[in-house]
């Protein structure tokens, strides 16, 4: 077992691993660019160095002291906040690493194409002591490997995986924790999933809604029936290397896209329409990873650029304005993991190691000229039968739009669409024309505020 100790680790250039084949070089080049960093070293932000100077492709954190990290070569683990790193798996090209949402002893590693096996998906159920293949039914070889694996947050025995490579790829689904996988691409399917899948996001409130970013034409696809059928979203020809759903507002999505598509885009209607949200990001940038601080409604992004001026950026107003997080070494790659229970951001800075910082309320305050209204309250009563009240507040003159959607994002009613003076407002929603079920109401303002809540109608 190879072991790293932080007292002897020093920043170093990326090691040559003798991979020697074109497709993997291309995939790593995309990975490096899409999560690239070049961060200034002066900042008031306090970072704790945890060691492991490797090209980090994934991070998973259990509690505070136990951290897993993947690289294009190994999987590592520390149980003492980086004082010692143990090598769990070697000679593997790990592209993605995910931890079970309820059982931290269970992890999945997506292994890309390689000259030598293993490739596919590796799984551990004992915190990394033993690993085994959990990819029966997934077709991979030395040129086409698994690029991404994603849990269904409600039913974590259900996972999706995407493959991509020289001979295109596919998208797969398992409902038994990886014992068996089935392709979700039907014969004669024209959804473009067969061109390769490089990013996946699963809706936090229903297992039927899944998003998949394709490699070929670079489109984002969506299913509303658990993968049986797929349709194009409004994000096309953009090469979405990452797609992320804000679990607090499931109609709110972020996508890391190619520089010529703006680098970062956002949808507020479940993927139907998209807008560029790169204010504050460097020119010619591409976002490779998004993570969320749900308690503070904050978004973090790993950004790479053509001109090596990227970094880790933060937005406290849902992507309207981004600010650089300084204080990290200059390098060309990063992986992100936000530990909600400890309010800590973990960053893998390639060739230098892993760093973390404690997030304090208000430390990333937005500019004074970015208005943020007070709130959109949960409707009451909820569940309701005949009618319910929706209350909201705005703190300045602004245009307010309040709409009702069904659970898959179809617009049903426009409740408010007018300019409002500062104050508190109440909307009475009647359920006469609605059937029993779950609904989502969403408020947006011209000042940049977005909020969604879920309501339940019971007959």
What distances in angstroms separate CA 167 from CA 17, 142, 163, 181, 420, one per listed residue?
23, 11, 10, 20, 55
Q: Kindly tell me the sign of the dihedral angle through the C-alpha atoms of 320, 323, 328, 331.
A: positive
pTM: 0.74
Query: b or e along 373-402 (b: 16 or more beta carbons within 10 Å of the residue's beta carbon)?
Result: beebeebeeeebeeebebebebeeebebbb
Cβ atoms 215, 205 nearer than 8 A: no
Question: What domains are defined for the chain?
Answer: 3-358 (2.130.10.10), 375-457 (2.60.40.1930)
Per-residue pLDDT of the chain (459 residues; tens, 9 = 90+): 444 433 323 332 233 233 233 333 334 333 433 333 333 333 346 899 999 988 889 999 998 899 999 988 899 999 999 999 999 998 888 999 999 999 999 999 999 866 566 789 999 999 999 999 999 999 988 788 999 999 999 899 999 999 998 878 999 999 999 999 999 987 777 778 988 999 999 999 888 999 999 998 899 999 999 999 999 999 999 999 999 999 888 889 999 999 999 999 999 889 999 999 999 998 888 888 999 998 888 999 998 877 667 788 999 988 989 998 888 765 556 799 999 888 999 998 877 789 999 987 554 444 434 444 468 888 889 889 889 999 998 877 789 999 999 988 899 999 999 988 778 889 999 988 899 999 999 999 887 788 888 899 987
Neighbours of 198 (CB within 10 A): 28
- Sheet containing 94-99: which strands, arranged edge to edge? 94-99, 107-111, 120-124, 132-133
On average, the pLDDT of the chain sits at 83
**Among the listed residues 110, 106, 48, 133, the one whose alpha carbon sits nearest the alpha carbon of residue 82:** 48
Distance CA 377, CA 386 (A): 19
Distance CA 371, CA 161 (A): 40
For the chain, what's the residue count?
459
């Amino acid at each position: 077992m190879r072991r790293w100790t932080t007292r002897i680790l020093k920043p170093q250039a990326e090691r040559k691993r003798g991979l020697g084949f074109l497709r993997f070089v291309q995939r790593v080049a995309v990975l490096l660019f899409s999560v690239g960093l070049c961060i200034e070293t002066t900042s008031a932000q306090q970072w704790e160095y945890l060691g492991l100077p490797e090209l980090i492709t994934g991070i998973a954190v259990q509690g505070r002291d136990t951290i897993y990290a993947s690289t294009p070569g190994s999987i590592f683990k520390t149980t003492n906040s980086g004082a010692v790193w143990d090598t769990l798996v070697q000679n593997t090209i790990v592209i993605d690493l995910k931890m079970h949402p309820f059982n931290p002893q269970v992890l999945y590693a997506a292994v890309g194409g390689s000259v030598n096996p293993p490739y596919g998906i590796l799984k551990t159920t004992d915190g990394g002591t033993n690993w085994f293949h959990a990819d029966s039914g997934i077709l991979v070889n030395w040129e086409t490997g698994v690029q991404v694996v994603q849990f269904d947050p409600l039913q974590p025995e259900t996972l999706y995986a995407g493959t991509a490579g020289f001979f295109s790829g596919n998208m797969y689904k398992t409902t038994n924790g990886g014992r068996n996988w089935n392709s979700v691409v039907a014969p004669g399917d024209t959804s473009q999933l067969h061109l390769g899948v490089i990013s996946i996001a699963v809706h936090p409130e229903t297992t039927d809604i899944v998003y998949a970013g394709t490699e070929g034409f670079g489109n984002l696809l969506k299913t509303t029936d658990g993968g049986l059928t797929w349709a194009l979203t409004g994000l096309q020809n953009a090469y979405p290397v990452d797609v992320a759903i804000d679990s607090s507002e499931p109609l709110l999505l972020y996508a890391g896209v190619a520089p010529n598509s703006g680098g970062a885009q956002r949808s507020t209607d479940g993927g139907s329409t998209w807008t560029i949200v790169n204010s504050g990001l460097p020119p010619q940038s591409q976002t490779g990873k998004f993570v969320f601080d749900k308690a503070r409604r904050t978004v973090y992004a790993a950004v790479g650029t053509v001109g090596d001026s990227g970094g880790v950026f933060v937005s406290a107003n849902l992507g309207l304005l981004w600010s650089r997080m300084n204080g990290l070494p200059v390098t060309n790659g990063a992986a992100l993991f936000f530990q909600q229970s400890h309010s800590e951001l973990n960053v893998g800075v390639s060739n230098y190691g892993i760093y973390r910082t404690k997030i304090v309320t208000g430390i990333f305050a937005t500019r004074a000229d970015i208005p943020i209204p007070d709130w959109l309250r949960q409707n009451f009563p909820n569940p309701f039968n005949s009618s319910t009240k929706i209350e909201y507040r705005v703190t300045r003159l602004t245009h307010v739009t309040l709409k009702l959607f069904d659970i898959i994002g179809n617009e049903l009613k426009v409740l408010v669409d007018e300019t409002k003076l500062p104050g508190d407002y109440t909307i009475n929603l009647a359920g006469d024309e609605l059937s029993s079920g779950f609904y989502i109401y969403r408020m947006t303002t011209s000042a940049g505020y977005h909020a969604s809540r879920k309501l339940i109608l019971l007959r």
